[in-house]
Chains A and B, each alone.
Chain A
């Protein structure tokens, strides 16, 4: 039992790590894009909001027949989790950059910084605490949401929860729920520390 818990905990961490990693790679540039093109940005943010409201089982139903990203297994679960993780990351990137004091931005422009330099040397560093907060939220929520991977044969700690619910076996449910809660707490503490460092930074 312990070996199995460790194995599915590993699967669980893998699912969340890949999903949040990809969501960061997509989400931060998307958040920056939204600040540059307010009109398209508004649409993008609406779409990302709307994705959040799709129930996971419905999303799986759509994804199962889709080649490359769908199917039965961990991949479908990761794709769903990426979609759910986008919201906090994109939003916090957007809000973080938009929150940069215009005076600071103008000072940069006055110093002759290019748009690119302005982004990387002024805006992104100042927005970083907000972006890291978004990543933290995405990770902590993702650790909980990733339990639904078990609904599409994706493994992870949800396997115990689904088995436990089907059999009304509280011990099995706890075997999935407690490690997930512990993971979420650890992730929260670690990423909060990173966030504080950024603010002091």
Chain B
């Protein structure tokens, strides 16, 4: 009897497949999307290990190439400019060379948004990034570390618009930037155009009138061997193609950031629709 039990346990341990590791970056939208991917895989019968909110772009990308992560949601502009550093390349072909699959686009474009307080925007006035030249002497920018370092980030923006700010940007944890802007501690931050907080905190995203930022179409990236871990995983991910437009994504972000609803519930509702 004892031997039988040990054998049964051993068999159970063997049949348990390695879980698919789902990651996300360190901001609300990425966490929601990671949760949606995880739930979709679970409903396809896969075992999932969630590693959400793990860090910035480069943390996620190096985890993917090393095999520590199996899938996460990335943006086309980020992949081309920051990861591949080949703005003109074909993203799917370039990813294929790295053993990764540039999967189904989710249907929305989340570009960087240069964000100011509404009262500043009306007083000065500010409508576009070009208008920032008017306030470069007294405006205090504040960003997360990634935006300052990225090739498609702050320095490139200054060069493209020919603006020089009097003070270097304050660098801080990405999650604190909205709070810093709302508390008048900084005057300009870089967020995402789909952030729900832009509306709810009374902020304005400036227009990129010189089209400095490329398109940032969200897509699910997964490792080529994902189906070996769970049969049907890639098919499940493929079914999310085109499921979210800009407005839908903004609404989901607001559900979490503005209404403080639980990410797992919001993701579940979004998949149910």
A165 to B62, CA, bound (A): 11
Instruction: Tell me if A181 counts as interface (CB < 8 A to partner B).
Output: no
When the two chains form the complex, which single residue of A70, A72, A168 contacts B172, counting CB atoms closer than 8 Å? A72
* Interface bits A150-188 vs B (CB < 8 Å: 1, else 0): 111100000100110111100000000000000000000
Residues in chain B near residue A70, CB distance under 8 A: 183
* Interface bits A60-86 vs B (CB < 8 Å: 1, else 0): 110011000011110000000000000
**Closest chain A CB from B54 CB (angstroms):** 11
Question: Quick one: closest A residue to B169, CB to CB?
Answer: A153
Q: Is the CB of B59 within 8 A of A159?
A: no
Known contacts A64-B183, A65-B183; A57 and B175 CB within 8 A of each other: yes
Known contacts A64-B183, A163-B145; A152 and B59 CB within 8 A of each other: no
Instruction: Tell me if B185 counts as interface (CB < 8 A to partner A).
Output: yes
Tier of interface size on chain B: 20 to 34
Instruction: Tell me if B243 counts as interface (CB < 8 A to partner A).
Output: no
- 23 A–B contacts, CB within 8 A, in A order: A57-B173, A57-B175, A57-B176, A60-B173, A60-B176, A64-B176, A71-B185, A72-B180, A73-B170, A150-B171, A150-B172, A151-B172, A151-B176, A153-B142, A153-B170, A163-B149, A163-B171, A165-B59, A166-B58, A166-B59, A166-B149, A167-B58, A167-B145
Given contacts A60-B173, A152-B172, 9 further A-B contacts (CB under 8 A): A73-B170, A152-B173, A152-B176, A162-B145, A163-B148, A166-B58, A166-B146, A167-B145, A167-B149
By a beta-carbon cutoff of 8 Å, the part of chain B in contact with chain A is: 55-56, 58-59, 61-62, 142, 144-146, 148-149, 170-173, 175-176, 179-180, 182-183, 185-186
By a beta-carbon cutoff of 8 Å, the part of chain A in contact with chain B is: 57, 60-61, 64-65, 70-73, 150-153, 159, 162-163, 165-168
